[in-house]
Amino acid sequence: MKKSTSTNSDFRSKINAVRIVLLLSVIIMIVKFFAYYVSKSNAVLSDALESFINIATSGFTLYSLYYSAKLKDDDHPYGHGKIEYLAIGFEGALILGTGVYILVKSANNILHPVPLENINGGIILTAISGLSMYFIGTFLKRKGRELNSRPLIADGEHFHLDTLTSIALVAGLSIYELTGWYWIDPVLASLLAIHIMGSGYKLAKESVDHLLDKADFKTISKVVDALSRHRRDCWIDIHNLRLQKFGQYLHVDCHITMPFYYSLEQVHDEIKLLEKELNSEFNNNLELFIHTDPCQMIPCNICTVNDCPFRKQPFFKTVVWTPDNVMLNKKHSIGIEN
Task: Dump pLDDT digits (tens) for 245-267.
Answer: 876 778 889 999 999 999 999 99
User: Across the beta sheet with 237-246, what order do the strands follow?
Assistant: 237-246, 249-258, 286-294
Residues of the chain with pLDDT under 50: 1-5, 336-338
Q: What is the pLDDT of residue 99?
A: 77
Question: Which of the following CATH numbers is that of domain 217-336: 3.40.50.300, 3.40.630.10, 3.30.479.10, 3.30.70.1350?
Answer: 3.30.70.1350
- With 0-12 / 13-18 / 19 or more C-beta atoms within 10 angstroms meaning exposed / middle / buried, residue 255 is middle
Amino acid identity, position 128: I
The domain locations on the chain are 5-211, 217-336
pLDDT digits (tens, 9 = 90+) for 282-308: 877 788 889 999 988 788 888 888 888
Q: Hey, which bits of 137-248 come out as E strands? A: 237-246
What confidence score (pLDDT) does residue 79 get? 64
Compute the distance between CA of residue 298 and CA of residue 286 in angstroms, rounded to an integer: 28
Do 5-211 and 217-336 share a fold?
Answer: no
pLDDT at 45: 75
pLDDT at res. 260? 92
Query: Taking the CB of residue 269, how many other CB atoms lie within 10 A of it?
Result: 12
Give the integer Cα–Cα distance in Å for 312 and 326.
25
| CATH class label, 5-211 | mainly alpha
Give residue 271's pLDDT: 92
Predicted local confidence at residue 95, as pLDDT: 77
